[in-house]
Structure 1
Amino acid sequence: MQLQPTILRFVQMLSTVLQLDVEVVDADLVRIAGTGPYSKFLGKKLNTSSRIFRYILETHQTKVVVKTRSDPICHGCDSRENCRETAFLGVPIMLDERCIGVISLVAFNQESRERLEQKEQILSDYIKHTAQIFVAKMGESENKLNQVFTNLLSNMDQGVLVLDDNNRVKYGNSQALNNLEISRTELEQLAVHIQPLSVHNNELKGHQQHIISLGARQELVVGQFHIINSHQLFLMSFYQPSTTLSGSINSQPNFSSIIGKSDKVTKLKTLIARVAKSPSSILISGESGTGKEVFAKAIHNCSDRSKEAFVAINCAAIPEQLLESELFGYVKGAFTGALTKGKIGLIQAAHNGTLFLDEIGDMSITLQAKLLRMLEEREVMPIGASKTTPVDIRVISATNRNFAEMIAKGEFREDLYYRLNVIPMHLPPLKERDGDIELLTYHFLDHHTQKIGGSYPGITTSVIASLNAYPWPGNVRELSNLVEYLVNVVPDGDQIDVDLLPPYFENTPSEMAAPITLSQIPSDGNEESLSLEQMEKIRIEECISRLSNRKLVAQELGIGIATLYRKIKKYSLSAHG
């Protein structure tokens, strides 16, 4: 159907020259073109008179019928008795040993039948030549489509690899080559293989981690597969972990959950790699929202206990009495309301694994004493039990409180503090992680887009600049929540731009531009009668009407784009001039 106008012109010329009617159908018996009685219902599937077409499509052979009612192929045809066709010549349209359609010549009177019968071979050869022209035109059309397809991929901001039926890479755009740190020539020469990092990843939707093998080298790449018009595409995520794999994937520290390349985060990763296999307790400190549990899980995943349980509990979220039973468990009949079978505590549940105690500073003094005894003796006494149970656990605790002040006030046991703080680990606030905000933003864009099930929106450089300038009092958690909000509110097919940011971003340092000076205001001799705000309004209005592009307007005025939007709203101006 993509070539229907071209085919239609051909069949009309054929019919005029040969003085026979022509009909063309595709492999699905859809009428592509026709003359005379076959000029109707183009694009519709045949429901009658398709026995001969089916025969040609199946056998790939030319078929001539000069006695339509008596020919064996017509037996069983519902229209046989009423058939007006006196002769038929059908030629298969072949492409790479596949029959993709049929061209037929049809006679409706005795004179036409005789002409077709007498010149059967000449007409057959002529129609075969026409079929080859159709195939050539299809090739031209496919080449044009491939050119459009290639140009589209070349201009995408995301890396894309195109694979053939054998999963060999046929093409990679410049972004993909940059991500893989490889030249186009090298990509064409190497055997490239892509497989999910986890065997379960191919069952999930959205971006997942994949291992791309480039000869002897391996790269860990976040992306997903798409099938488009028989092309297999591997679409890379904007965020990439930039991890070159050497040797066994399992022998490398699993830092995929820790997003960041800043100096402070890099030093933390180095520290984790050194202490992960140790049984010593670790105390993670840092502001709320810095990702203490994420780092605790990374330590567990890099340790020899990674195949065992990682048990986490927030000590501030559970009342004291309930926290004790949750941690230590209890035996049958230990107290009123206890389960008849008793309950195994989280400490025992973490046996051979890792116990993560978040907000440890909120634990009561009484419970601190029991926890200290467990750490010293490496055994746990459930509530109501008469004997202890040995446990082998690695304890990681976290807090955002000042232990020195708490110990001085008698709110936290000093001996427990030293037991927990064998290996101290301080997480920097997000504002001190230079360069990590953009990486985290793209990571959360992927994560929340996948979770919500929408299309990937992308994000403008102006938004990234605003995010980098913001102080982030809520740290990584606040950034994640903001990106989730933006993914929900951005219109389908649009990028996230600064006009979607919450109002408090208008006053970020990057947007605190210098005020517009009088020298910037067009002079009309009436400066004394205008206030500064009036002159500012005139200046902005003039720029908008002249430039009509909000980014160019902001650049000329020397202000941030968010500030421009705020002033447009303040002065009730049109953002489009």
Structure 2
Amino acid sequence: MIIEKSSSNLMQIQPTILRFTKMLSSVLQLEVEIIDANMIRVSGTGPYGKFFGRTLNGNSRLLKHVLETHEEKVVIQSQSDPLCIDCGMREKCQEKAFLGIPIIVQDTCIGVISLVAFTTEQQQRLKENIQVFSDYIRHISTIFVAKLLDSQGHNVEGLNKIFLTLITNMDQGVIVLDDENQVKFINQNALQQLQTTQNKIAGKSISIRPLTFQQNYSGGHLQHIISFDEHQELIIGQMHDVHNHQLFLMAFHQSHTRLSEDYNPDEPQIDQLIGECKPIRVLKRLITRIAPSPSSVLIVGESGTGKEVVARAIHRLSDRHDKPFIAINCAAIPDQLLESELFGYVKGAFTGASTNGKVGLIQSANSGTLFLDEIGDMPLTLQAKLLRAIESREVLPIGSSKPVAVDIRIISATNQNFEQYIAEGKFREDLYYRLNVIPLSLPPLRERQGDIELLMHFFLNLHTKRIGSVYPGVSPEVIAQLKQYRWPGNVRELSNLMEYLINIVPNGEVIDSSLLPPNFLAASITPVYAQPPTEEIAELEDARCATNLESMEKQLIEEALKRTANKKQVAKELGIGVATLYRKIKKYELTYWS
């Protein structure tokens, strides 16, 4: 059997190599670099995750050594190895340890798989597990050779056996499902995580479903609900599709909390809107009900609570989802420019105007959704013009005498107290009622303690994927501190904290209290006010939530009844039965129903 000649044999199977490279780095928590016989980089992670297909420079002595000798090379102290002493890059080199394994086909070395340590922790891990890691890499090398031969028309036996041997001995839990979600293989670590046995789960159909996403998202470490029989476990991991099979790879570090008993899989799941606490579950249900309506929505919440996330969710679930979503921050644009941004202008409308004129954002959002963030900061003169545009459903560009018809849905957001603004004459009351047809209130993060860990894992996955680092663990102490913190910056502050921690935690290690920024620790240690016991907090939150929701529900019904006296039409608009509508009218003592 002769392998066919090629300028780069390994490049023929680069997609396969790329998948295994990411898996190796995740499993072994080391950086990986793979080159071919011509010193061309085929794949890599971390600092080696770019310039694929490019020939390496002349300082890659360790890789050259493996290519030339066809033998494994282990270096625990890189700069002190004889091969590194005369290297011109020795003083600047950041590599601390190295393991290189040749890829051999019929006594010919066609490439090298290398593991590299950049931190002291990685160096120690490589030192303590050198034989195990070497065996892993040799297994992977065999798979590459088999795949290469197979791609060239050769029949290779034993590939499945090699693959199963590899995942059997992995330190992470692994589950392999067929196309009917039946368990074809599960290793011992996965059985321990699921608290079950081989006899109880082998061959059974199980469900592995992301907790926070159902569509429009893939990849990375997510919290998954694994269900079989009456058993449910919350497991962090990532799903891979491989040859009509699904491979679920569990993370090294798992969550410290269990799935909430209140979790209902039938509740609406909305991309990017993460949360299972009672206010967020109610908000998700409300969003799914109001999304198809053309009515204006006003979202009220503190800065950083995710008002634009909610606005985009409403747009995606509406009939306008395939039309433009135009967002503008009214506080970020100078007053003198805001009018031209919103309404546009015609040629020669003012000095400095574009010779071609400009289409305003309201007109750009035609048939779609216009999101006006920080609407409370809009100047009074523009408020009057916006009100006319909403009522007449047409805009008048600056300098034009001919209005342009528009069909838009307006979603506004504010963190201001509109009642105070109206009383002080800073905001028009008639515009407020036009914008506040459907009010939505977002709770601050300090009132969503049950969601903090969900959000933490969401942002950890988001930032590790973006930065290209290994998914870390989080100590129970840190999670407790996150739940005690007051979060003045809300969800945005949590996201920024997770991004900071991802950048400073050693790759794949556990985030502990020592890594938290000093200002966070000080705020956590010194509470803003004495807090009642946890059960009392929960009761207070539920009571506050119930009051807010009843107020919101009352206003929704009242606004609908003002528009029409037809109870059937009102009930349909609100997504409830007519009998329920009459009960609500009686409950809230509404006067618009006679």
Shift of 1:504: 2.5
Shift of 1:379: 0.9
From 363, 379, 384, the counterpart of 2:394: 379
Shift of 1:164: 6.9
Cα distance between partner residues in 1 of 2:366 and 2:189: 46
Q: 3-state SS of the aligned residue for 1:305?
A: coil
Cα distance between partner residues in 1 of 2:235 and 2:317: 20
Matched, 1:463 2:478: yes
Shift of 1:227: 9.3
Shift of 1:265: 1.2
Alignment of 1:535-574 (within 5 A): none
Change beyond 3 A, Cα 1:321–1:270: same
Contact 1:289–1:476 (Cα < 8 Å) also in 2 = yes
Shift of 1:428: 1.0
From 439, 446, 451, the counterpart of 1:424: 439
Shift of 1:225: 4.5
Shift of 1:411: 0.9
Contact 1:227–1:233 (Cα < 8 Å) also in 2 = yes
Quote the residue 1:329 is aligned against: 344
What amino acid is the match of 1:344? V
Matched, 1:484 2:499: yes
Contact 2:222–2:461 (Cα < 8 Å) also in 1 = no
Contact 2:301–2:442 (Cα < 8 Å) also in 1 = yes
From 173, 176, 187, the counterpart of 1:162: 176
Quote the residue 1:277 is aligned against: 292
Cα distance between partner residues in 2 of 1:276 and 1:321: 33
Q: 3-state SS of the aligned residue for 1:153?
A: coil
Contact 1:254–1:301 (Cα < 8 Å) also in 2 = no
Cα distance between partner residues in 1 of 2:160 and 2:490: 56
Shift of 1:234: 2.5
Shift of 1:162: 2.4
Matched, 1:153 2:168: no
Contact 2:269–2:284 (Cα < 8 Å) also in 1 = no
Contact 1:329–1:346 (Cα < 8 Å) also in 2 = yes
Contact 1:329–1:383 (Cα < 8 Å) also in 2 = yes
Alignment of 1:406-421 (within 5 A): 406-421=421-436
Alignment of 1:146-295 (within 5 A): 147-149=168-170, 152-154=171-173, 160-163=174-177, 169-172=183-186, 185=200, 188-190=203-205, 206-207=220-221, 224-225=238-239, 233-235=247-249, 255-295=270-310
Shift of 1:311: 0.9
What amino acid is the match of 2:498? V
Cα distance between partner residues in 1 of 2:209 and 2:286: 31
Cα distance between partner residues in 1 of 2:379 and 2:416: 14
Change beyond 3 A, Cα 1:457–1:403: same
Matched, 1:502 2:545: no
Q: 3-state SS of the aligned residue for 2:407?
A: coil
Quote the residue 1:357 is aligned against: 372
Quote the residue 2:456 is aligned against: 441
Change beyond 3 A, Cα 1:44–1:327: closer
Shift of 1:305: 1.4
Contact 2:182–2:205 (Cα < 8 Å) also in 1 = no
Q: 3-state SS of the aligned residue for 1:235?
A: strand
Change beyond 3 A, Cα 1:500–1:468: same
Change beyond 3 A, Cα 1:245–1:309: farther
Deviations 1:156-209 (A, max 9, x none): xxxx422579997423469978999999746613398999966x867xx63589
Contact 2:303–2:415 (Cα < 8 Å) also in 1 = yes
Q: 3-state SS of the aligned residue for 1:280?
A: coil
Contact 1:380–1:389 (Cα < 8 Å) also in 2 = yes
Contact 1:292–1:398 (Cα < 8 Å) also in 2 = yes
What amino acid is the match of 1:464? I
Cα distance between partner residues in 1 of 2:382 and 2:160: 78
Shift of 1:382: 1.1
Shift of 1:476: 0.7
Cα distance between partner residues in 1 of 2:426 and 2:314: 28
Cα distance between partner residues in 1 of 2:273 and 2:196: 26
Shift of 1:506: 2.9
Q: 3-state SS of the aligned residue for 1:312?
A: strand
Quote the residue 2:66 is aligned against: none
- Normalised TM-score (structure 2): 0.53
Could you say what the CA RMSD is over the residues aligned between the two structures, in angstroms? 4.6
Change beyond 3 A, Cα 1:379–1:171: same
In the alignment, structure 2 segments of 5+ residues that lack a partner are 1-69, 73-101, 109-145, 147-156, 528-594
Shift of 1:361: 0.5
Quote the residue 1:297 is aligned against: 312
From 383, 388, 391, the counterpart of 2:403: 388
What amino acid is the match of 1:161? I
Shift of 1:142: 9.0
Matched, 1:308 2:323: yes
Aligned pair count reads: 368
Change beyond 3 A, Cα 1:270–1:406: same
Shift of 1:484: 0.4
Q: 3-state SS of the aligned residue for 1:424?
A: strand
Contact 1:356–1:396 (Cα < 8 Å) also in 2 = yes
Q: 3-state SS of the aligned residue for 1:335?
A: coil
Deviations 1:483-537 (A, max 9, x none): 100000101131111100011233455688xxxxxxxxxxxxxxxxxxxxxxxxx
Cα distance between partner residues in 2 of 1:139 and 1:286: 54
Alignment of 1:49-68 (within 5 A): none
Shift of 1:342: 1.6
Cα distance between partner residues in 2 of 1:462 and 1:165: 40
Shift of 1:447: 0.5
Which protein has the larger Cα radius of gyration, Structure 1 or Structure 2? Answer: 1
- Normalised TM-score (structure 1): 0.55
Change beyond 3 A, Cα 1:466–1:340: same
Contact 1:469–1:508 (Cα < 8 Å) also in 2 = no
Q: 3-state SS of the aligned residue for 2:495?
A: helix
Change beyond 3 A, Cα 1:44–1:221: closer
Q: 3-state SS of the aligned residue for 1:396?
A: strand
Q: 3-state SS of the aligned residue for 1:188?
A: coil
Cα distance between partner residues in 1 of 2:177 and 2:435: 52
What amino acid is the match of 2:360? G
Shift of 1:424: 1.2
Q: 3-state SS of the aligned residue for 1:435?
A: helix
From 389, 398, 401, the counterpart of 2:416: 401
Matched, 1:474 2:489: yes
Shift of 1:47: 6.8
Change beyond 3 A, Cα 1:394–1:208: farther
Quote the residue 1:574 is aligned against: none
Quote the residue 1:86 is aligned against: none
Deviations 1:129-180 (A, max 9, x none): xxxxxx99x999998766433xx334xxxxx422579997423469978999
Cα distance between partner residues in 1 of 2:332 and 2:163: 62
Deviations 1:268-298 (A, max 9, x none): 1122122111111111111111111111111
Cα distance between partner residues in 2 of 1:350 and 1:182: 54
Change beyond 3 A, Cα 1:170–1:324: same
Change beyond 3 A, Cα 1:262–1:333: same
What amino acid is the match of 1:411? K
Contact 1:448–1:484 (Cα < 8 Å) also in 2 = yes
Greater relative contact order (Cα < 8 A, sep 6+): 2
Quote the residue 1:346 is aligned against: 361
Contact 2:389–2:395 (Cα < 8 Å) also in 1 = yes
Quote the residue 1:85 is aligned against: none
Contact 1:192–1:213 (Cα < 8 Å) also in 2 = yes
Contact 2:172–2:189 (Cα < 8 Å) also in 1 = no
